Chain A
Amino acid sequence: MNSQIREWCDRIRLAGQSGTALELRGGGTKAFYGHAPEGEVLDTRAWRGVDSYEPTELVITLRAGTPLTEVAEVLAERGQELPFEPPAFGEGATIGGVVAAGLSGPRRMAVGSLRDFVLGCRIVDGKGEVMRFGGQVMKNVAGYDVSRLMAGSMGTLALMLDVSLKVLPRPVADFSLRFEIDQATAINRLNQWGGQPLPIAASFWHEGALYLRLAGAGAAVEAAVRSLGGEALGDDDATRLWREVREQTHPFFGGEAPLWRLSLPTDAPPQAVTGATALEWGGAQRWLRGEHDAVALRKAVAAAGGHATLFRGGDKSVGVFHPLSPVVARINRRIKTALDPHGVFGPGRLYRED
């Protein structure tokens, strides 16, 4: 076994024996997300690089500490990409952190979420055992899907060493439109368009303007541009807009006010709340700025079939993530124990009572 991996296995084993918590950390760009990290830092950046990349297999296998920028460059050389467009949220983001955070970017509704692209992984569990799940093939139902379980687990289940991801060719054409419409109209339109075979890749609504991104075959994008109307965005403006939305550097996300993320059915009516609002993902991902009563907000969102996360800032004592039902919470605790019996990894990062 590689000496770095052996060292980590030993460290994890010792941490379990001594009751020491470990914070699994890559670039630390998502430390703001979830409850505050606790424990000694285990820096994954010592394990970096592309293990294998087969463009014709549409699969890349990466060491967890590989910088996201390096991944993007390697894929771009062969005209491919991570189509779920994960946010980096700063310099130095690693692929391990990206998978652990489980966050997807603007094109999520069109292409699928990060977890949909996870094919396999190698991990070290809380007892210091190296294990491999899934693989490098698109279809695999041998054993439970532990690899996808890693997505969004925020470093609380296991240390991820390597991850295999499905990749896709970049769309031939990418073009954006702008419409001046209010939120309710935008939600309605997005749902109507969503039911038609249109090459809609992404959407963003804020302050009376809906931006729509089309991507796919050149002919399909051209035909959609003709039929949808709206005002065309220049390529540079479009590239900047979608980057700002993905990285939350758009002015909507600026300032110190708390940022709430709502995950909702695409057709849920606008929330009856004050404060600035933005929506993405055809209406399925909505953002609220400002102080909100967590209990009331979560109740309203749950009634609509969704959930609410205190994404950035604010008073985290209300719980960052939407409370789980007692049964689901119990299963979550048991899953944590199944992989991390001594509670070494990221205690309390997801839920404080962990």
Chain B
Amino acid sequence: MGQRNEAQLGVKEGDFSYVDRARLIEALKSAVPPECLLVQQEDLRPYECDGLSIYRQVPMAVVLPRTEEQVVAVLKACHHLKAPVVARGAGTGLSGGALPHAHGVVLSLARFNRILDVDAHARIAVVQPGVRNLAISEAAAPHGLYYAPDPSSQIACTIGGNVAENAGGVHCLKYGLTVQNVLRVRGVTIEGEIVEIGGRGPDTPGYDLLALMHGSEGMLAVNTEITVRLTPKPQLARCVLASFDDVAKAGDAVAAVIAAGIIPAGLEMMDQPATAAVEQFVHAGYNLEAAAILLCESDGTPEEVAEEIERMRVVLEASGATEIRISGDEAERLKFWAGRKAAFPAAGRISADYYCMDGTIPRKRVGEMLLAIQGMEKKYGLRCINVFHAGDGNMHPLILFDANRPGELDRAEAFGADILELSVALGGTITGEHGVGVEKINQMCSQFTTAEIGAFFRLKGAFDPDGLLNPGKAIPTLNRCAEYGRLRVSNGQLPHPELERF
């Protein structure tokens, strides 16, 4: 498979080539027991990428600490040697946020996998960062509670990674993102100091560091303990499956549902190529004639759900749905969802490789975006299937390509970059829930001005003055933006003339 490593990324973000591998390994040996340290090439290889496997880089070492004291010791050692540290959870991220640094250490939190406390009365769970998202809901289930944010990778992804990316899911319009469901993060700074952010209460004094930690992509501190809020499980959920003969009509139907004062528990859209792809192997029963389908879910008490489903049906019919089906039981509801949840694997079945985008745009621009994507399919000679969280405008176009065919990876990336640029132009953002990582770092230059990027670096400096935590991710240097040709300058001033251009 075609891939990118640091050299191919083009621009060096900061030079850490001074890090001496032997000295670094020596220092790590005194920080953790031997079974927590990997240094052989064959042991390092499994860590060379995360869920975005087109970027690969073998690190100098991987540490798998078991205790917070060991995390402190590792960070102190790296801080002393000024070596980069990349924290890693399950490695399911889709933006290369956990891509190792060639001159650095990967700090895996995989062994921090214990649920420390489930307090059913206070509806709070205290967990270690390596606990899987779904495991929290499983532990809370006997109490009639669950952890609400449900990214599609929830069987594998960890809560530590969810905090780092501010993960969403299909239910976040109603139940919020990770940031709205976490009460406290305990972490370690690069200097090896323990930092407690938040508590068991609803808020904390001082600036909202908890908000800042969410989506910070491991660049501010390394989490060692997370307190989450648990939510009572709704008694019942039912789903409406609506078909449309036109994608714009489906888009308008989404707006009409919201305009009617309904906040669905989930509101998802798939276009025809996407339904065709999934039907081949899940048989969710989607109408293959439809240009687009909507999945619209209601949850709550039986009375509440009956009332809301009826309101949804009326609105969807008035919006021109050609067919409406309402799940009669839980098995049918899960069948409706099976297709949506299988979209990514289905893309993998019909194509050698696929590239998942994550732009969020105002809902009303969805039709425009889909049309533009059709144009891009012709321009780049690649197919794209569209699934998205329609309720919050978060789109996941899946660009299909074959990396073994010369030039296709490059075309797929250019296609993706076009979608991201258009997301910004339509008043949206380049990433809704997958993070910037290394993948979308160039497009950050389109979304933010040099002043804003400067502010991001200063905020990072408030936690990590030497810039050792996950360098080269999320926030582009101004040199990189100059190279990418997308220096955005506010107030009509000239682009930074002091910067070297090449």
Interface residues of A (CB under 8 A from B): 1, 54-59, 79, 102, 108-109, 112-113, 115-116, 125, 129-133, 135-146, 148-149, 151-153, 157, 168-170, 172, 191-192, 194-199, 216-220, 222-224, 263-267, 281, 284-285, 304-307, 309, 321-325, 327-329, 331-332, 334-339, 350-351
Known contacts A143-B474, A217-B304, A331-B195; decide if A56 and B431 are in contact (CB<8 Å).
Answer: no
Q: How far is the CB of A79 from chain B (nearest CB, A)?
A: 6
User: Which B residues are CB-close (under 8 A) to A144?
Assistant: 212, 215-216, 456, 459-460
CA distance A217 to B234 in the complex (A): 14
Q: Scan residues 436-474 of chain B and give those whose CB is less than 8 A from a CB of chain A.
A: 436, 440, 444, 447-449, 451-452, 455-456, 458-463, 474
User: Which B residues are CB-close (under 8 A) to A220?
Assistant: 300-301, 303-304, 307
User: Which A residues are CB-close (under 8 A) to B391?
Assistant: 138
Query: Given A145-B214, A149-B207, A151-B208, 12 more contacts at CB 8 Å?
Result: A136-B362, A137-B432, A148-B179, A148-B208, A191-B121, A199-B304, A306-B200, A307-B204, A307-B205, A327-B193, A334-B463, A339-B459
Q: How far is the CB of B385 from chain A (nearest CB, A)?
A: 20
Q: Which of B119, B194, B203, B490 has the most A CB atoms < 10 Å from its CB? A: B203
Q: How far is the CB of A251 from chain B (nearest CB, A)?
A: 25
User: Which B residues are CB-close (under 8 A) to A146?
Assistant: 455-456, 459
Known contacts A220-B303, A306-B200, A328-B206; decide if A137 and B459 are in contact (CB<8 Å).
Answer: no
Of the residues B206, B211, B361, contact of A332 by C-beta under 8 Å: B206
Nearest opposing residue in chain A for B444, CB measure: A142
CA distance A140 to B427 in the complex (A): 12
Q: Scan residues 182-230 of chain B and give those whose CB is less than 8 A from a CB of chain A.
A: 189, 193-197, 199-209, 211-212, 214-216
Q: How far is the CB of B189 from chain A (nearest CB, A)?
A: 7
User: Which B residues are CB-close (under 8 A) to A198?
Assistant: 232
Nearest opposing residue in chain A for B174, CB measure: A168
Interface residues of B (CB under 8 A from A): 119-124, 143-145, 165-166, 168, 172-173, 176-177, 179-180, 189, 193-197, 199-209, 211-212, 214-216, 232-235, 255-256, 258-259, 261-263, 300-301, 303-304, 306-308, 360-364, 389, 391-394, 427-436, 440, 444, 447-449, 451-452, 455-456, 458-463, 474-475, 490-491
Evaluate contact between A131 and B363: CB separation under 8 angstroms.
no
Evaluate contact between B451 and A137: CB separation under 8 angstroms.
no
User: Which B residues are CB-close (under 8 A) to A325?
Assistant: 195-196
CA distance A351 to B173 in the complex (A): 36
Of the residues B194, B209, B259, B427, contact of A136 by C-beta under 8 Å: B427
Nearest opposing residue in chain B for A351, CB measure: B206
Known contacts A56-B259, A217-B307; decide if A263 and B202 are in contact (CB<8 Å).
Answer: yes
Evaluate contact between B300 and A335: CB separation under 8 angstroms.
no
Evaluate contact between B205 and A1: CB separation under 8 angstroms.
no
Q: How far is the CB of A4 from chain B (nearest CB, A)?
A: 14
Of the residues A108, A131, A263, A322, contact of B455 by C-beta under 8 Å: A131
Evaluate contact between B461 and A129: CB separation under 8 angstroms.
no
Of the residues B172, B259, B444, B459, contact of A139 by C-beta under 8 Å: B172
User: Which A residues are CB-close (under 8 A) to B145?
Assistant: 195
CA distance A321 to B203 in the complex (A): 12
Of the residues A141, A142, A157, A285, contact of B207 by C-beta under 8 Å: A157
User: Which A residues are CB-close (under 8 A) to B360?
Assistant: 137-140
Evaluate contact between B255 and A56: CB separation under 8 angstroms.
yes
CA distance A351 to B206 in the complex (A): 9
Nearest opposing residue in chain B for A116, CB measure: B180
Known contacts A54-B362, A149-B208, A327-B193; decide if A135 and B429 are in contact (CB<8 Å).
Answer: yes
Evaluate contact between A149 and B232: CB separation under 8 angstroms.
no
CA distance A50 to B202 in the complex (A): 30
Evaluate contact between B490 and A116: CB separation under 8 angstroms.
no
Q: How far is the CB of A190 from chain B (nearest CB, A)?
A: 10
Sample (24) of A-B pairs whose CB atoms are under 8 Å apart: A56-B363, A59-B362, A102-B203, A112-B176, A116-B176, A116-B179, A137-B393, A139-B393, A142-B429, A142-B447, A144-B215, A145-B214, A152-B208, A194-B232, A195-B144, A196-B232, A199-B300, A218-B307, A219-B306, A263-B202, A321-B206, A327-B195, A329-B206, A334-B461
CA distance A351 to B433 in the complex (A): 34
User: Which A residues are CB-close (under 8 A) to B451?
Assistant: 125, 129-131
Of the residues A57, A168, A217, A328, contact of B195 by C-beta under 8 Å: A328
User: Which B residues are CB-close (under 8 A) to A263?
Assistant: 199, 201-204
User: Which B residues are CB-close (under 8 A) to A125?
Assistant: 451, 455
User: Which A residues are CB-close (under 8 A) to B361?
Assistant: 137
CA distance A269 to B29 in the complex (A): 46
Nearest opposing residue in chain B for A308, CB measure: B205
Evaluate contact between A139 and B432: CB separation under 8 angstroms.
yes
Q: How far is the CB of A157 from chain B (nearest CB, A)?
A: 7
Q: Which of A140, A145, A192 has the most B CB atoms < 10 Å from its CB? A: A140
Known contacts A116-B180, A223-B301; decide if A141 and B490 are in contact (CB<8 Å).
Answer: no
